[in-house]
Amino acid sequence: MPYRAPVKDIRFILDHVVGFADVLATPRFTGTTPDLAEAILSEAGRISTDVLAPLNRAGDLSPARLENGAVVSSPGFAEGYRAIAEGGWVGMAASPDHGGMGLPIALALSVDEMMSGACLGLQLKPLLSKGQIEALEHHGSEELKALYLPKLTSGEWSGTMNLTEPHAGTDVGALRSKAVPNGDGTYAVSGQKIFITWGDSDLTSNVCHLVLARLPDGVPGTKGISLFMVPKFIPDAAGNPGKRNTLRVVSLEHKLGIHGSPTCVMQFDDATGWLVGAPHNGMAAMFTMMNNARLSVAAQGVGVAEAALQHALAYAEGRRQGATPLSKEGTIIEHADVRRMLAAMRAEVFAARSIGLSCAVAIDMATATGAADWKARAAFLTPIAKAYCTDIACEVAHQGVQVHGGMGFIEETGAAQYLRDARILPIYEGTNGIQAMDLVGRKMADGGEVAFRLIDEVQRGAEAARGKLPDLAGDVWATAEALREATEALVAMGLNDRFAGAVAYLRAFARVLGGQAHLKAALADGGREALARVMIRRLLPENLGLLAEVREGAAGLYAVGGDDLAA
């Protein structure tokens, strides 16, 4: 079955689970009426289903390639990207001052998800542009904004993010790239960067690189890093692509998946660049882009999971094999174990989608109100959304292969592509271990205040639901209480002890938020109760083991020596 954008499910979550109506009620977003939001989702769903989804397999089988130093895109990608750019989808949430629509992030994220589910390899291109737009809006000079933002927003030009170097991955402060003032307001940027998504393209007339590098007076570590705009073609006096800059694609990475997305090794040799933000403040500017990208990657995870689930469901509904409890010669969906896998997959996708959109709503409310509580909530939910949604992408795609049985291991069925494509997502934009450490470290610097507020909210909702769904409400309340107790223990720990249980803690928190989302859904629509029971009665109990791990600390891990780990 071809991919179909899940417009109905997204609208249900916006309307009944994450409080999107509150966003539309703010003065900042009053122009985004419910009818407009519905029209946007429907049209994005149509493009994703009819235009982008047919390109997904072509991108896998006919990867982007490097010819004479330039990237040649997969078949059909030019037409697909044109539909994205000409439809205004790149600049949905961008400022109207430079041609954007100024729409809520929750809507933009919903579109990201649908386009990712349709064709992740292509959707990665506008994703990086969106992050660059936000970084320039917050940190770029007026001159840079006027020159670059209209072209990026329209999709005429595209953006990239250049952090990683062969010797400096998560430890960005170890980078060796340098920038030397040219004396005319520009800088000569030199160095090599790796893992640069869509570092070159034949789909746009210019590729704009945001590059981290160190000025001559930059101190060691992250505090000495600056950020520079380094375009492939230096804009001329009219703002059009002019002289070719001194940068090049060295090679394309040979990857497990997302073959349609060219991941480049980039070389900068005294390339002309312009400072973005203050000198030595590059990490602050880059984190604006990274936080945007982290939530977008969460949406990618949900999109791939949705697509993998649809693929597996179609196979299970059509594959006849043996007698089942329901018929003498039924399809495999009638077997309890296959039904178990598909039900769990759907429950996980719903929970992940709800968590991602809840984070987006918090960002929108922070933008609309400026309230510190909303900003703190958005910051807390970002690592949870990024890690949980991308882990679920891998888990659901894995189960999708399992549903296919032996045929899932055969490339021709297409099931394996979702698993291969999804595997990068828990690594992108800070590995999920880093997300978990951020959650229990920086995001717990308030003593757990935001965490406790979210737990309070879950328990209030569960209390209110006891009259209609007493068993489900009771389970959600009890699991939230266990999370509260584990949180109290966590904030009393030293930082490294927190880190040892960070991944388990993040998953446990996501499980509770997922249970809350399913409970809300079942209250709003009785037809969703069966799926809520799968989440709350079958998956939520995993928290007992997760929270036990949280309490263990780090000592037991360091007691495992080299001899214990060796074969």
Active site residues: 429
SS (H, E, C) 293-354: HHHHHHHHHHHHHHHHHHHHHHHHHHCECCCCCCCCCCEHHHCHHHHHHHHHHHHHHHHHHH
Q: Give the bridge partners for 375, in sequence order.
A: none
Q: Which has the closest alpha carbon to 79: 201, 261, 198, 203?
A: 203
Burial of 236 (0-12, 13-18, 19+ CB in 10 A): exposed
8 Å CB contact between 385 and 298: yes
Nearest residue to 513 (alpha-carbon basis) of 314, 362, 330: 362
Cα 321 to Cα 329: distance, rounded to the nearest angstrom: 7
Q: Residues 472-479: contacts with CB within 8 Å, 24+ apart?
A: 472/519, 472/522, 472/529, 472/532, 472/533, 472/536, 472/537, 473/519, 475/515, 475/536, 475/537, 475/540, 476/512, 476/515, 476/516, 476/519, 476/536, 476/540, 479/511, 479/512, 479/515, 479/540, 479/541, 479/543
The residue with tokens 């497990």 is 256
Beta bridge partners of 233: 244
How far, in Å, are 117, 273, 301, 379, 517 from residue 385 at the CA level? 17, 34, 10, 10, 14
Alpha helices in 427-467 (DSSP H): 432-440, 449-465
Tell me which DSSP letter residue 177 carries. Answer: -
Longest CA–CA span in the chain (Å) reads: 82
**Which spans in 53-104 are helix H?**
56-61, 77-86
Q: How far is CA 539 from the centre of its chain?
A: 23
